[in-house]
Amino acid sequence: MIKPWEIFDSRIRSAMIAKRNLPFSKITNEKKTDLLNNLFQHETTNAARLIYIHIPFCNNVCPFCIYHKQKIGDKKIIAAYCSVVIKQIQALADTAWVNSAPFKAVYFGGGTPTSIPVEYLEAILNELKKSYRLTNDCEITVESTITDIKPAMVSRLKNAGVNRISLGVQSFNTAVRASLGRTATRQEISKTMAVIREEGISNICIDLMYNLKYQDFGIWQNDLSFLKTGPITGCSVYPLISASNRANPDKIEEKNAIETEYIYFIEADNCLVENSGWERFTSVQYGHREKGKAVYVTAQGQNADLLAFGSGAGGRIRNISYIQTGNIEEFNNNPGNFMSDSIMFLTIHDSFLKLRNIFGLSESLYLNKIDYNPIKKYFDDILFDLINKGLVVSNTDSFNLTQTGRFWAANISALFAEKIRDLIPQIADGNNA
């Protein structure tokens, strides 16, 4: 009998990699202006809308981080960077698309947003609140490291509207943290979380990672237990994503790593939902159902439109995706009007807007059968196979990922992406309507 960690030859550890086979094509500069004008001059057709602000600066660059960032240097660069972000926000403020519905979550990611002076974060947030409609309960998250947190800074963030802090913890074990370039001890982490609570922000999310140097199963269990002792309301859990395993090599080492990852994942998946009031939001995100909501993260798996600002930031609106230049100097020289800024735009056939609902199963853990019926004929073969392999279960009103299915969620997304890649040319030609 095949073991649960052997269902696939390699494990995809990134949602971005899982969808790399989707048939997006680059929009030429000649077509970009007309396409964007047409997009933003019409009201939205999607009530689920998010905003992402990328702050690509860090006081220290962590060796494990795969995201676009650089160590803080000239403060003039930071000032110029935030100025362009604000100009981009202002440039879209009067468009029909922006004004047609409120945004339900704002996320400052990085890099480390709190590595820059807090007044820049305040200025960006003030511009957003002035120029854009946010829901009354809009979730506003700022990522931070333990060492960046100071009472005065947290107080200013709260007064600016921040109501959720996401802390890069990775592990509570001091030796494991040191191997990642993290200097704060377990005691300092506890004090930091207390500061955040005392300054009035109660939604505190952390991340825990496995496959780390000096980490064993006992340390992992201890991390999961210690989490319960603090004011933590949410936790994301994922393996170390390194340059070597991003490509998912089919090696003996990879297969051994998958078995270890499966054991660690199962322990976390069982342990975290034992916390009072906690539930699973996605295959990697857990939290208290009331105090630890992760609106931004959850909506990502529900096909929300994402308006993204900043160097290296990627967004999506309907069937258009885009990524801003990762070169900070180039970004800082942009006029900030979106139309002529250094941004690569991609598009995909309109049929994707219907087909993409299948990702609700792999990214939101379930898919209502009412939503599945219109695309049933396209995916029944894959779904039947996933059920036979014990990755999906069919309930009365929905399909749900099993625990093993949650472990393989990104691989399941990749199967759907490959299917969509093959379907779209047929649908576009009218051969598979």
366-368/398-401 β-pairing: antiparallel
247 pLDDT exceeds 70? no
pLDDT of residue 340: 73
pLDDT in tens, 122-171: 999 999 999 999 999 999 999 999 999 999 999 999 999 999 999 999 99
61 pLDDT exceeds 90? no
In the 8-state DSSP scheme, what is residue 27? Answer: P
Report yes or no: 222 and 172 within 8 Å, Cβ to Cβ: yes
Instruction: Count CA atoms within 13 Å of residue 192 on its CB side.
Output: 23
CA 48 to CA 70: how far, in whole Å?
A: 32
The H-or-E segment that residue 155 falls in is helix 151-160
- Residue ranges and CATH numbers for the domains of the chain are 24-233+291-300 (3.20.20), 353-422 (1.10.10.920)
State the CB neighbour count (10 A cutoff) for residue 119.
Answer: 11
The average pLDDT across 332-356 equals: 89
Enumerate residues 6+ apart whose C-beta is below 8 A from 403.
266, 269
pLDDT in tens, 168-207: 999 999 999 988 888 899 999 999 999 999 999 999 999 9
- CA torsion angle 124 125 126 132 (round to 10): 100
Q: Of the candidates 67, 147, 49, 61, which has an alpha carbon nearest to the alpha carbon of residue 107?
A: 49
- Range with the lowest mean pLDDT among 1-15, 16-30, 87-101, 245-259? 245-259
State the CB neighbour count (10 A cutoff) for residue 240.
Answer: 18
Residue 366 to residues 40, 299, 358, 400: CA-CA distances in angstroms?
A: 32, 13, 9, 4
Q: Of the candidates 109, 100, 216, 226, which has an alpha carbon nearest to the alpha carbon of residue 165?
A: 109
Which phi and psi angles does 9 have, rounded to 5°? -70, -30
Query: Cis link prior to 218 (omega < 30° from 0)?
Result: no
49-55/305-309 β-pairing: parallel
pLDDT of residue 283: 94
The pTM is what? 0.93
Higher pLDDT, 37 or 190: 190
Q: Which residue has the tokens 């107080």?
A: 155
Helices 118-131, 75-92: inter-axial angle, 10-degree rounding:
10
Kindly state the tokens that stand for 61: 């660059």
Helical spans, DSSP H, in 315-375:
328-332, 352-355, 359-364, 369-372
Report yes or no: 21 and 359 within 8 Å, Cβ to Cβ: no
pLDDT of residue 292: 94
Enumerate residues 6+ apart whose C-beta is below 8 A from 317.
39, 97, 305, 306, 307
Which phi and psi angles does 71 have, rounded to 5°? -70, 140
> What is the chain's mean pLDDT, rounded?
91
Kindly state the tokens that stand for 356: 């993409």
Instruction: Work out the pLDDT band at 58, boundaries 50, 70, 90.
Output: confident
Q: Which residue has the tokens 């690509």?
A: 56
CA 408 to CA 262: how far, in whole Å?
A: 9
